[in-house]
Structure 1
Amino acid sequence: MESHIIRPGHLTAHQVATQLGISLGGVRLLVHRGQLKRSGGTPRQPWYAVADVAALVAKRQERAAA
């Protein structure tokens, strides 16, 4: 279940997965690889900065265009 109380400028893991078009496991893998950093929340319900997610989306779009 997603947390309904989240700081402005942050996304839940579910929201990140939706934005990137990946699974929750994919989000965990990005964190494990150091490509995405948790910026709050709890270990079970982490938050991620919108700017970090936007950078990943842009990077994926650049790769797709190349």
Structure 2
Amino acid sequence: MEYLLPPLGTLTTSMAAMSAGVQPATIRDWVRRGLLARCGGTPKRPIYRLADVEAARYAAKPNRPGQRGTTAA
């Protein structure tokens, strides 16, 4: 069950996405890439620290060849 109100200072995936201005899939991608760590919840309903979400939002993202927004040299 989705948290109606997660513990103070934490966010659900949906709330983290809204806070960072991205889609929930991006939050899950940040976790997969190691830019963001879960701090609790369940495997299907994780929660994240607000400070960690903000840090991941402004972290330098690696660029891959062919990725949108990159220029080919």
* Same-fold call, TM cutoff 0.5: yes
Which structure shows the bigger proportion of residues in helix conformation? 1
Q: The TM-score by the shorter chain falls in which range?
A: 0.7 to 0.9
The 8 Å contact of residues 11 and 49 in structure 2, kept in 1 or not, is answered as yes
Q: CA offsets, 1:17-63, max 9 Å, x none?
A: 11112111111100000000000001111000011112234x26xxx
Task: Tell me which residue corresponds to 1:3.
Answer: 3
Structure 2 spans left out of the alignment, 5+ residues = 60-73
Higher RCO (C-alpha under 8 Å, 6+ residues apart): 1
TM-score using structure 1 length: 0.76
Structure 1 spans left out of the alignment, 5+ residues = 61-66
Deviates more, 1:39-48 or 1:3-12: 3-12
Which structure shows the bigger proportion of residues in strand conformation? 1
Partner SS state of residue 38, structure 1: coil
The 8 Å contact of residues 20 and 54 in structure 2, kept in 1 or not, is answered as no
TM-score using structure 2 length: 0.69
The percentage of counterpart residues that share the same residue type is 39
1:48 paired with 2:48, answer yes
Query: What root-mean-square deviation, in Å, do the aligned CA atoms of Structure 1 and Structure 2 show?
Result: 1.7
Q: How many residues align?
A: 59
* Larger Rg over CA atoms: 2
